[in-house]
Structure 1
Amino acid sequence: METQGKRAQRVPRAVREQQMLDAAVSVFARRGFRATSMDEIAEAAGVSKPLVYLYLKSKDELFTACVRREAKALSAAVRASVEAGAAPDRQLWSGLLGFFRYTAEHPDGWNLLYGQARSGGAPSADEVAAMRVEIVEFVTALIGTAAREAPCVPVLADREVRALALALVGAAESLAGSSANGRETAATLMNFAWAGLGNLLAGRPWSP
């Protein structure tokens, strides 16, 4: 009976692995890749260090798994927040809102992606770059659609549209975590990027 009870309490591998990743994200975000030890991660996860090595063979592999999971979750959150079929400005607004809300709710994950994974000495820069390319392409498509639909706007070259998308994504990355109010931050960025600085200064702000 005792053996059966222990088996019933055994944590499934998938659940245990997610618990380890949760702990690792928190420790990596706080300490950085180089300063973090597998002992710290094991302690934070409430497991033995050999068990961590059994699931994830090395610190590099563990860090890569964390970055991959957080990048996938952020991209999914942004896409899920977009109002499908809405006008381009509404899609961009809802996407920005989803981005700022997610990064505010997951500060460790965002710090891992934006701070630790892009710093020197950390693996998985390619994972973050791939996530960024995906988001830039999404924003590029929205800006391109808006430019084509505007009757009084000259056709923008592809390089101009992409440059605007890169600028917008870069601004969003810089602003993430700067305010607890994601809606206010998203509106600020929309005023600057979509309404244009000229309209904003003239008192004609964009509003949702």
Structure 2
Amino acid sequence: MIDKNDLTIGESVFFPIRGKGAKGSIVRKNKRTVTVLDTTNSRVYRVPYSLLFKDITFSRRPLTFENSELLTEEELRDLADELKKEYRYVFKTFNSEQTKLLESVKIKWSKRSTYRRGGYYLKSSKGQLKNEISISSTFKNTPKEVIKLVLFHELLHIKHLNHSKEFRSLEESFTNFEKVDEIMGKILVEYRIRRMKNLT
């Protein structure tokens, strides 16, 4: 955890927000949080000190997890099936067309590693149905619960193409959402810093 006395107004920091690795500058220091201006979208966030990363103190050793798993694409699909059963009360809200897409969706690892998002759902392209979920390779060798949250997020996009209030409400029904989302955000922030430092 960064001590607030080590931070100055205007200093650049990295932080996870809604599953993304963001960069911003400190606007105000509070007792438990820091007010940060996101330099990408000019939005202001209140971020706990525990979620801040300072570029100058970043370690060359990547984050490691004892319960990390390297899943095959078949195992990714099995994980999606687990989610459909575990959160069937969520997926029961899908209409018949959305349910058909849910049952036939293709799931794969993306060839690219990213820090802006954990994955994406592509319903169609150039007028043709795709119905595909790609999970960022950034999440290979990370805890299964993190991968499950990324998958859950993308499966919800079959019903909600944008991040509406209803989407966020459903997403936050994921077990231990805040804890897992925090880990996911840290992974993305770390990848962003490592890429900037040419450590990837």
TM-score scaled to structure 1, two decimals? 0.23
TM-score scaled to structure 2, two decimals? 0.23
- Bigger relative CO (Cα 8 Å, ≥ 6 apart): 2
Q: Which has the higher helix share?
A: 1
The structure whose Rg is larger is 1
